[in-house]
Chains A and B, each alone.
Chain A
C-alpha cells in the first residue's frame, strides 16, 4: 500500500524578481514528521502556502493521497484533509474563539449558526488534544500563547491527514514548545503526516523523522536527525561554515545611561501591559530583555522611544527626565531605535533607500539647512552607508520596498547605528532575517557596545540573547522578574522565569 501522503513535484513560484521556489520536489508519508528547514527567505513558507492553496504556484503539481489538488484554492486543500497552522496567526481578533474555529464550516440550522453546537465542538476538540480554551473568550483579549492554541485547534478541527505548522514556536516558552512537540508526536503516531517549518535546529533534531533543507528556493538535501548535528544542518542551510559563538570580548560597563523607575504603560486595549517596571542600563553593555512576546516588551520600547504615553513612573536618559517626550526629543537626547515592526514604524516603503537612510534626521544639517533640504548630502551619505553595511541594491534611488527583508533591516540598522547615539534600543532586530545578515547585525551591536554605547536588546529569541547579551533581564507580566548573568544560567531556568515561575 502506498503510504505516500503528499507528493510535491517540480514546484516553482516566482514573486516579482525573486524566485521563491525553484523546482522543488518533496514527499511526506503517513505518520511522518518532515522538518522543513532553511533560513529566513529560503522559500519554506511559500512552499507550504502553495500546498494549502494560499499561493498559486507557477508550475508543478501537488498530489495528496494520489489525487492532484487544484492550485490556489484553500477550500480544496481543506477538503483534501490539509490543515495549516500559520506563522502569523490568521485569526479574527474581534471574534470569539468558537467563531474563529468554526469559520468556514459553521454548525447551522438553515442559514443560522448554532452557537451551542459550536461551543460544544470546541470543548470536544480541547479535550481531545489537551489544549484547554474558553470558547467564548474574545481572541484579541487572549495572551499570545493561547491565541496560538486557537490557531492549532482550528487546523485540527477537521480530520486532517496532513498538518502543516509554519514556525509555530516563535511565541512559546521553552516548556510550551516541549508540549507542542509532544502534541506533534501524538499526531504522527495516529498516522497524521506533518510538515514542520522552523529555523531552530534544536527543535528539528528533537522531533523530525526526516529533514529537508531549502536554500535560496531550492531543495539542497535531506537528512535524518540521527546523522546530523546542529553544525551540519546549519552548513546545509547556509552553504558555508557557521560560527555559533561569536568572538565576544568581555564587556566594560560604565555609568548608568538609562534609568527606568517603576514604569506603567497601557497597551492599545487600555490594559496595563508594563506593570511597575524598573531597570538600569549602563554604557558599554548589552542588556538583553528576554521574554515571550506579549508581556509588555513592545509597549516598553514604545514608551522609551517616545511613541507611547506613560501612565505612571518615569525614566531618565543620562540623568535627564525623558518621560512624556516625543520621539524627536528623545532622539535628540541620544537614543537610537531599531523598531520591532520595521514596515510599520521604521521605513516608508515607497520612498527611496536614500530617503529612508536619513528618515529621522531629515531636519538636521547637513541634510537640511532650515527649510531647504540638501539632497546631494543625503545621497552621498546614503552611498557611504550602503557600502558600509553591505546593502544589496543597484542604486540608492530605488524605493526601499525593492529590497529583501534582510536588506531592509540593514538599512534600519545602518541608519540607527551611525548616529553617534548613546543608547541603542533594538527590538527583535533579527526577526525574519537570513543568517548572514544576523551575524552582521550582531557584530554591529557588539562593536557599538565596545565603543561605549549602551544597548538594550529586546528579543523573543532566547538564543540571540544568550549569544550576545552581557546581562539578561527576564520580563514577564510587565515586570522584570530576574536579572541573570548569561555565564551561569541554563535555558530551563530562564524558560520557567519567562513563563512566570517564581524562582
Chain B
C-alpha cells in the first residue's frame, strides 16, 4: 500500500513532484497528440518513438552548434528543425502508404528501430561529447533552453495550447474535415473531392512533426543534452494516452496528467516502497486494457466514437 501512497505524494502533492508531473504530462500530451491526429485520419502512427528520437537529436544538434544567437531566434529555429526531422520520418511512412500501400503500423515500427540505430550511431560518433564516461552529446546552449514560468515547465502550457489548437483544426478547418472524412470513409472522401493520398501523407507528416517537436521540447526543457535512453517510453506512453483519450485531443490532458504523475513517482517507488519501478508499466498496461474494453466504455457512457484504424493491408 505504501507504493500507492508514494505515487500520490511524489506525483502530485509535493511541489517538486507537481512540477515533474506537469513536465512529463506536457510531453505526454504532445506525444498523444501526434498519435491522435494520425488516428483521426485513420492512421495508426505507432512509431512515434522513432520520430521523437529523430526530432530530439536534430534539435539538440542545432541547440549546441549554433552559437551567438538570441533565444528568440535560436529556440524556435531549433524547435522547427526538430519537428521537421520528425515530419520527415513520419512523412516517409505516409508516402510509402499512399504510393505502395505499406501499412503504417509495420513501417513505423520498423522505422523506430532504424532511427534508433542511426541516432545511436550518431551519438556515439559524430555528435559525441568527448571525455565523458557515458555516451552523450554536448550540452544545449542556454539560448535554446525553454524557460520555466515560476519554476513550472512551460512545455506543459505549450502542450495544452497545442491540444486546443489541434482540436480547433479538426473541427473548424477544411484540412480537419479532410482528415475526419478520410479517416472514416475513404471512398466517400474521394467522392467528395478530397485527395485521399495527399491526406494520408499530410497526416503522417503532421503526426511525425508533432512527435519530433515533442522530442525537441523534452530536450529543451528537461534534459539539456541528448542521451538516447532518456527518451524511452515517450512514444509508447503517447499511444496509451491517445487510446485512453479515445483519439480526442482535449481528452488527452487528464490522461496525460495521470500518467505523468505515475511516471514521476516511478523512481521514488523503488526507494521508498521497495517495489520494482516496472510495476508502473504493468499498471498502465492494465489501465489501458480495462479502459478500452468496450463493455466498460458502455458503462462509462462515453459517447466518443470508437476508434478504428483497420484500413487493411493493401490500401
Would you give the 0/1 interface string for A24-66, flagging 1 where the beta carbon is closer than 8 Å to chain B? 0000000000000000000000000000000000000000000
Asked if B110 is at the interface (CB within 8 A of a chain A CB), the reply is no
Question: Residues 181-192 of chain B: 1 if any A CB is under 8 Å from the residue's CB, otherwise 0?
Answer: 100110111111
* Cross-interface CB contact of A363 among B174, B176, B185, cutoff 8 Å: B174
Is B172 located at the chain interface by the 8 A CB criterion?
Answer: yes
Given the interface contacts A371-B173, A373-B177, does A328 sit within 8 Å of B187 by beta carbon?
no
- Chain A residue nearest to B194 in the complex (CB): A328
The answer to whether A363 touches B193, judged by C-beta atoms less than 8 angstroms apart, is yes
B180 within 8 A of A: yes
Is B175 interfacial (CB-CB < 8 Å)?
yes
**Which chain B residue lies CB-closest to A374?**
B172
Interface pair A326/B193, CB less than 8 Å apart? yes
**Of the residues A328, A344, A372, A375, contact of B188 by C-beta under 8 Å:** A344
Establish whether residues B193 and A331, one from each chain, have CB atoms under 8 Å apart when the complex forms: yes
Is B305 part of the contact surface with A, judged by Cβ < 8 Å?
A: yes
Q: Are A362 and B192 in contact (CB under 8 A)?
A: yes
- Are A351's CB and B184's CB within 8 A? yes
Q: Which of A300-320 contact B (CB under 8 A)?
A: 305, 307
A350 touches B184 (CB 8 A): yes
- Contact at B177–A362, with CB atoms within 8 Å? yes
Distance, CA A345 to CA B181, complexed state (A): 12
* Contacting residue for A307 out of B173, B175, B181, B190, CB 8 A: B190
B185 touches A348 (CB 8 A): yes
Give A348 Cβ to nearest chain B Cβ, in Å: 5
Partner of B187, one of A344, A363, A368: A344
Among B175, B176, B192, contact of A359 (Cβ-Cβ < 8 Å): B192
Could you tell me the distance in whole angstroms from the C-beta of B286 to the nearest C-beta in chain A?
A: 29
Total cross-chain contacts (CB, 8 A): 64
Knowing A327-B191, A337-B191, A339-B191 are in contact, say whether A349-B175 is a contact too (CB < 8 A): no
Please, how many angstroms separate the alpha-carbon atoms of A412 and B195 in the complex?
A: 21
User: Which A residues lie within 8 Å of B189 (CB)?
Assistant: 348
Residues of A within 8 A of B195 (CB): 326
Name, among A305, A339, A359, A360, the residue most crowded by chain B CB atoms within 10 Å (CB to CB): A359
Q: Which residues of A contact B305 (CB under 8 A)?
A: 350
Q: A291 at the A/B interface (Cβ < 8 Å)?
A: no
Q: Contacts A326-B193, A350-B305 known; A372 to B172 CB distance under 8 Å?
A: yes
Known A-B contacts A327-B193, A331-B193, A348-B181; the reply to A362 vs B174 at CB < 8 A is yes
Q: A371 touching B185 by the CB < 8 A rule?
A: no
User: A328 touching B172 by the CB < 8 A rule?
Assistant: no
Contact assessment for B175 and A371 in the assembled complex, using a CB-CB cutoff below 8 Å = yes
Pair A359/B188 contact, Cβ less than 8 Å: yes
The CA-CA distance from A355 to B194 in the complex, in Å, is 14
Residue interface bits B138-182, CB-to-A below 8 A is 1, else 0: 000000000000000000000000000000000111111100110
**Chain B residues whose C-beta falls within 8 Å of the C-beta of A327 in the assembled complex:** 190-193
Question: What's the nearest-Cβ distance from chain A to residue B79, in Å?
Answer: 23
Which B residues between 182 and 214 are near A, CB-CB below 8 angstroms? 184-185, 187-195
Q: How distant is the Cα of A305 from the Cα of B191 in the complex, in angstroms? A: 9
User: Is A347 among interface residues, defined by CB-CB distance under 8 A?
Assistant: yes
Instruction: Tell me, in angstroms, the Cα distance from A19 to B23 when the chains sit together.
Output: 53
Q: Is A346 an interface position by the 8 A CB rule?
A: yes
The answer for the CA separation of A149 and B191 in the assembled complex, in Å, is: 33
Residues of B within 8 A of A351 (CB): 180-181, 184
CA distance A348 to B172 in the complex (A): 18
Cα A189 to Cα B212 in complex, Å, equals: 75
29 A-B contacts (beta carbon < 8 Å): A307-B190, A307-B191, A326-B193, A327-B191, A328-B194, A337-B191, A344-B185, A344-B187, A345-B187, A345-B190, A345-B191, A346-B188, A347-B185, A348-B184, A348-B185, A349-B184, A350-B305, A351-B180, A359-B181, A359-B188, A359-B191, A360-B193, A362-B177, A368-B174, A371-B174, A372-B173, A372-B174, A373-B173, A375-B172
Which of B's residues lie within 8 Å of A, judged by CB?
Answer: 171-177, 180-181, 184-185, 187-195, 305
Besides A328-B193, A348-B189, A350-B184, 14 new A-B residue pairs in contact (Cβ under 8 A), listed by A number: A326-B195, A348-B184, A348-B188, A349-B184, A349-B185, A359-B192, A360-B192, A360-B193, A363-B193, A371-B175, A372-B172, A373-B174, A373-B177, A375-B172
Nearest 7 A/B pairs, CB to CB: A328-B193, A360-B192, A348-B185, A359-B192, A345-B191, A348-B188, A348-B184
